[in-house]
Amino acid sequence: MKKLVFASVLFMSVFFAHAQVSVNVNIGTPPSWGPEGYDNDRYYYLPDIDVYYDVNQSVFIYDNSGNWTRAKRLPSRYRQYDLYSGYKVVLTNYRGDAPYTYHTKHRANYPKGYHGKPQKNRGPKPEKYNKPKGEHKHDNKNNNKSKKDSKKDHDHSHNDHH
């Protein structure tokens, strides 16, 4: 009888230990800019920049001249994109490793500028994103600009707000 109890306890320990490892490996932590309420979904599609985000691996997936690339950071052409303000389409029904398999469908259903139901981010926007343009420290070179250059910079900053 003791052997049977021991064997059962051992089997259950191994089974639950394995299950625990599987859970830890398969679930990533959603980013603070991710939409609230989707803790079990792996992918977001960002229609404004045509990029996917893999929550489990904490990487962006984007088309790089015909090749799908995974990277921890957005490509340089999107570094100014505000992840907190941009709309995230949560791919709730996809379970594979290549969400871009349905890229044509995603682009058609969620074009640039798409907004579905309102979203709330999981966390607050960090301070560095909240600073208005123009509050950055300037070096001495920037303080000696001509009036023409100042007007050009001023006009440019207004264009960023459209």
Residue-level pLDDT at 46:
98
In tens, the pLDDT along 68-116 reads 999 999 999 999 999 999 999 999 999 999 999 999 999 999 999 999 9
Length of the chain: 162
CB burial of residue 62 (10 Å; 0-12, 13-18, 19+): buried
Q: How far apart are CA 134 and CA 122, in angstroms?
A: 28
Averaged confidence pLDDT in the chain: 77
Model's pTM, two decimal places? 0.64
- Provide the pLDDT for residue 143: 43
Handedness of CA 93, 120, 78, 75 (dihedral sign): negative
DSSP 8-state secondary structure symbol assigned to residue 146: -
Of 153 and 33, the structure prediction assigns the larger pLDDT to 33
Closest CA to 35 of 75, 85, 105, 97: 85
Residue 100: its pLDDT value, please?
97
- Give residue-wise pLDDT tens across range 108-157: 999 999 999 999 999 999 887 555 555 444 444 444 444 444 344 434 33
Residue boundaries of the structural domains of the chain: 27-120
